Chain A
Amino acid sequence: MTTQTSPSGHLLLNSISKVFEQGSNRVRAVDNVSLEIHGGEFITLLGPSGCGKTTTLRLIAGFELPSSGQLVLDKRDIANLPPNQRPMAMVFQSYALFPHLNVFENVAYGLHLKKMKDNEIREAVEIVLNMMNLTGLGKRSPSQLSGGQQQRVALARAMVMKPKVLLFDEPLSNLDAKLRIQMRVEIRRLQQRLGITSIYVTHDQVEAMSLSDRIVVMNKGRIEQVGTPVEIFLRPASLFVADFIGRANFIEVTVLGRQGDSCVVKAFGADFKVPCSPIIETGKQAYLMIRPEMMKLTPQTGSKAQIRSTIYLGSSVEYEVDDGGSMLMAVDTQPHFENILSEGTPVAVSFDPSTSYVLPYEERPSK
């Protein structure tokens, strides 16, 4: 985590709710969300569409007003401040470049509004265009740029304002896969260099993992979990988080005992000591979460578990295993030519308990 004491760009969301009314329909888009974002931190709001992440971002930007709750930036309540007076800049999914202005004018737009002198504007724009690898493109119209270049202009236009908070609304979702990865790296590098508090909305978990100091997983307007990428992946707070981030096998188990942070559970005919959610008690039902990458398959004649399908992906092999009626996913991330298991092979199933987790039991939503 970065500089916690930094006074600039510290943002506090206190019990924020947003209710939309459509006729007699009331939709709680954001439901009692509280969150502290430290100065200079890169935080991602992650969740499926309709989870309230974009509304939360728009509440922070000021495009929506909260139905209740407080929004405090550097000890100042800004909940009712109009969006144009908030020291924030937003990067939009559609880039939202002004089509009637050229690249230079786009980037200079906000600086003109600050009543900066022309030569200062010129200098500031040149610097940020250089920084974004857009040197010499100032006179181009946005429609003459590639998608990646347009995205960088949008970023430059926001960065040049030196905002206290940068807001990103799925900015990479219109780019192709390769460019997306490249821009991801670039955004992270710039943010680290400038130390601007950044709030990033995405539904792409890989993007969230690679960019963020912390991830906020949202579902149905509520926060499911806040944590570092490692915490979110390896210590998910709920079935939803575990299921949304990466893939996982969930095995219903009974907790046989607790030892500190771990629980003893029985799986695949053996007892394992597995890291365990703090709210789990002995004797209760629970889910054992095993990531497919942590599964171990060993060929064993006579075993009741069998390989159902083998999908070779080059850098990994994905297996579907029929374990006496229940289906398990397994991924071999270091496949060798000779150890790829063919369909029908009987296997012994095991896993790495230290990278697995025991979750509280809940009704599984039908898929």
Chain B
Amino acid sequence: MATISLKRRLGEFRRIGSDWTLLVGLLVVVLFLGVAIIYPLSKMLGVSFTAESFAYYVRYFSSPVYQGIMWNTIQLGLVVGLFGTALGFLFAYVQVRVDVPFKKFMNLMALMPIISPPFAVATAAIVLFGRGGLITYRLFGIRYNLYGFTGLTIVLTLSLFTVAYMNLQGMLRALDPSLDEAATNLGASKWHVFRTITLPMLIPGIASSFLLLFVEAIADLANPLVLGGDFTVLASRVYIAISGEYDIFAGSVLSVILLVPSLTVFIVQRYWVSRKSVISVTGKPAGKPTMITNPIVRWGLFALTMFFSLLILLIYGTVFVGAFTELFGINYTPTLRHFEFVVLGLGSQAMMDTTKMSLIATPIAGVLGMLIAWLVVRKHFTGRSLIDFISMLGIALPGTVLGIGYLLAFNKPADIGSITLLPPLAGGTAIAGGTIALILAYVVRSVPAGVRAGVASLQQIDPSIEEASISLGADNATTFRKVTLPLIRPAFLTGLVYSFARSMTSLSAVIFLSTPYAKIMTAQILNEVDAGRFGNAFAYCDILIIMVLIVIGILYFVVGTTTGVERDFGVSL
């Protein structure tokens, strides 16, 4: 037994060695994951598990204030998870199963948060529903205090429910309508079908949406910073520890405390709940589903969905209009002053820096995502699922955790003895003004979306198509270039779009890494919001949204989507 197993291992090494594309691909991926994820994470964990940091754990777990912060974090995660999933389900159900007008508009509103910068929703909510808010105060005369748990819940729900919407919409579309027909044929009413067929089949999807939203909500930094008020959560506390108190031990220990629930829930979602699914989302429509015909249910659902769609429209309308007015809510004199500040004035450096770094990070993340997906789906080697898991950490780790890891890992050179393996990559004194660490962080945060899109796409492509190419004399590299890549082009495009949008709007992972030579736009927005200069913040948001849309347009044009292949494979964006 042992000798056979050893022989097999040797055979595996020989095979990897003889297959240079696999070898090079693996080396690139392992190096990337090692430097960009494992190394910073281990640095952060190293700091948080020293004798010195132990005192912090004792203090945090015994102090009622910190117990409160932990409870706040969990509470926020649970409530946003619940409401976000419910809202996502509502939008998805109406989209797939209810025949009402304006569905395209609703879909667009539900997708808005993908390209939305952080702070956009929160800032608009303040000027609309806050103490001096247009709606609350001007319209109804209420001095409403939006800051705190309620405001955070509303804003986070509206910002994050897109994840649940897309997830559940895919599942609802993939539900075989003949199941409904079979149940109806056996005498079940529509409500009975929904309760006994549709809902149970969707439970894994609902659970996994809830868990994903939980992870995103507890990791969110932007909204608690702006809207938290007295309601502190772990992510905002980490930020204060690093940026205000310069206490790296406090930051690291709090990060570990935040990391535990995030990672646990992520692992439960990914390796347990999502495997329970009885529906395979292939992207192929399974047929025409039965529509809801009861007018009360139909128009009730329509009214509810329309209400939220209009709310989202109002919010983004405010973001848009707010940038062109002196001070939204108080002085509506039209002005281009804010755009001058962002485009030509002091604010323009951040815009240029962020765009340049995002443009560099996007293709790297796109290619890496496809490469990892290809290795994970098509190649058989020991440690394949580990590579998949580590690449997903880029999104599973809360941004602040990653940011602290980068601070610790890249502010100083990485040495082994007297040999310098890596020069400092982060901070103003690092090479390229600290941009390398920022770009690396952008790539790490963007890769998972590309990997998932690539994996989904590759799993739909019959492996014998690639085998046919090899059988006709092509090596692995040629096959990847001439067959695989053209076929997964839509997924590649998705990866690129996500990467760019994510990089441009990223905050928590990079806020500690911004330097005078590499300014990031989202951090500038935070400054403007903090100073009450909402107009400037809105102008930044508008510019961000417009740039993301332009780049998406260019990517569609360059990479192209109408090869006919998408139709054959049912792959679509």
Chain A residues within CB distance 8 Å of chain B: 19, 21, 61, 63, 65, 67, 80, 82-85, 88-90, 92-94, 96-100, 109-110, 113-114, 141, 143, 154, 157-158, 161, 167, 169
Contact = CB atoms under 8 A, between A and B. Distances in A.
B464 interface: yes
B18 A82 contact: yes
Contact of B564 (A94, A114, A141): A141
B568 interface: yes
B467 A63 contact: yes
A361 B473 CA distance: 49
A93 B464 contact: yes
Given A96-B462, A99-B565, A141-B564, A61 B4 contact: no
Contacts of A113: 472-474, 478
Nearest to B473: A113
B487 interface: yes
29 contacts: A19-B4, A61-B467, A61-B471, A63-B467, A65-B15, A67-B4, A82-B475, A83-B467, A83-B470, A89-B471, A90-B467, A92-B464, A92-B467, A92-B468, A94-B462, A94-B464, A96-B465, A96-B467, A98-B469, A99-B487, A100-B563, A100-B564, A109-B469, A113-B472, A113-B473, A113-B474, A113-B478, A114-B473, A161-B472
A114 B14 CA distance: 26
A260 to B, nearest CB: 46
Interface string B321-352: 00000000000000000000000000000000
A154 B486 CA distance: 20
Interface residues of B, number: 32
Give the interface centre of A92, A99, A109, A110 by most chain B CB atoms within 10 Å.
Answer: A99
Contacts of A158: 471-472
A143 B464 contact: no
A113 B15 CA distance: 22
Interface in B531-573: 563-565, 567-569
Contacts of A90: 467-468, 471
Interface of B: 4-5, 7-8, 11, 14-15, 18-19, 462, 464-465, 467-475, 478, 482-483, 486-487, 563-565, 567-569
A50 B11 CA distance: 25
B565 to A, nearest CB: 5
Given A63-B470, A84-B474, 6 more contacts: A65-B15, A80-B14, A84-B472, A92-B467, A98-B469, A158-B471
A260 B107 CA distance: 83
B8 A84 contact: no
B464 A88 contact: no
Contacts of A61: 467, 471
Contacts of A83: 467, 470-471
A110 B464 contact: no
A63 B469 CA distance: 12
A85 B567 CA distance: 33
A142 to B, nearest CB: 8
8 closest A-B pairs by CB: A110-B472, A96-B468, A96-B464, A92-B464, A90-B471, A113-B473, A100-B486, A96-B465
Nearest to B465: A96
Contact of A67 (B8, B467, B470, B478): B8
Contact of B472 (A67, A109, A169): A109
